[in-house]
C-alpha cells in the first residue's frame, strides 16, 4: 500500500518539504553534537530512504554546515529563520521530528548516546506540566 506523503517546513514558512512516512527508525539522540546543533537537550530524528523525501519550496534557502575534517553534512537549516531541516544524502534522509507539520505515525524507539547526555537533565517528562507559559517570576 502506497502511503500518502506528510508535510513539514521551517518556522518562517519559506522552506517546505514532503516525505513518505516510511520511517525505519525514530530516535532521541543525546550526543553532544545534537545538543549543539539543536540548542536543546536532545534531537528527535526520524530516518528514511532518500527517495521518500522531496523539497517542495525554498530549497535554495536551505543552508548546510559541512564538517571540514570529514566532509559530512552535520547540520541543515533555513537560511532565514534558522530552523533545523532534514539532512538528505544518498545514504538516507534524517528528518527532525519537530520540523514536521503532520504526525509521523510512529513513536520514538530509543534514547541513543545516553552516556553523553547533558549534566542538566531531568527529562521534560519528569518536570511539572503547565498548559501554556509559566507565570512571570
How are beta strands 73-78 and 25-29 bridged, if at all? unpaired
Nearest distance from residue 79's CB to Zn ion, in Å? Answer: 8
Nearest distance from residue 134's CB to Zn ion, in Å? Answer: 27
Q: Which is nearer to Zn ion, 3 or 123 (CB)?
A: 123
Taking CB under 5 A as the criterion, the residue among 19, 34, 88, 95 binding Zn ion is 34
Does residue 31 bind Zn ion (CB under 5 A)?
yes
Check if the beta carbon of residue 31 is closer than 8 Å to that of residue 38. no
Strand order in the sheet with 53-57: 6-9, 16-19, 53-57
Residue (of 40, 57, 56) closest to 96 by Cα position: 40
Nearest distance from residue 86's CB to Zn ion, in Å? Answer: 13
- 137/53 Cα distance (integer angstroms): 44
Judged by CB under 5 A, the chain residues 41 through 80 that form the site for Zn ion are 78, 80
Query: Using CB under 5 A as the criterion, which residues of the chain lie in contact with Zn ion when the complex forms?
Result: 10, 12, 14, 29, 31, 34, 78, 80-81
Amino acid at each position: 500500500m502506497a502511503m500518502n506523503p506528510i508535510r513539514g517546513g521551517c518556522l518562517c514558512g519559506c522552506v517546505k518539504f514532503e516525505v513518505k512516512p516510511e520511517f525505519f527508525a525514530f530516535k532521541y539522540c543525546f550526543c553532544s553534537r545534537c545538543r549543539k546543533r539543536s540548542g536543546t537537550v536532545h534531537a528527535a530524528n526520524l530516518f528514511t530512504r532518500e527517495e521518500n523525501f522531496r523539497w517542495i519550496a525554498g530549497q535554495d534557502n536551505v543552508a548546510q554546515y559541512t564538517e571540514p575534517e570529514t566532509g559530512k553534512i552535520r547540520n541543515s537549516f533555513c537560511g532565514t529563520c534558522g530552523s533545523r531541516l532534514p539532512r538528505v544524502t544518498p545514504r538516507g534522509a534524517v528528518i527532525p521530528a519537530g520540523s514536521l507539520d503532520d504526525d509521523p505515525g510512529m513513536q520514538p524507539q530509543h534514547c541513543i548516546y545516553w552516556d553523553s547526555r547533558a549534566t542538566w537533565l531531568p527529562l521534560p517528562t519528569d518536570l511539572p506540566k503547565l498548559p501554556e507559559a509559566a507565570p512571570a517570576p
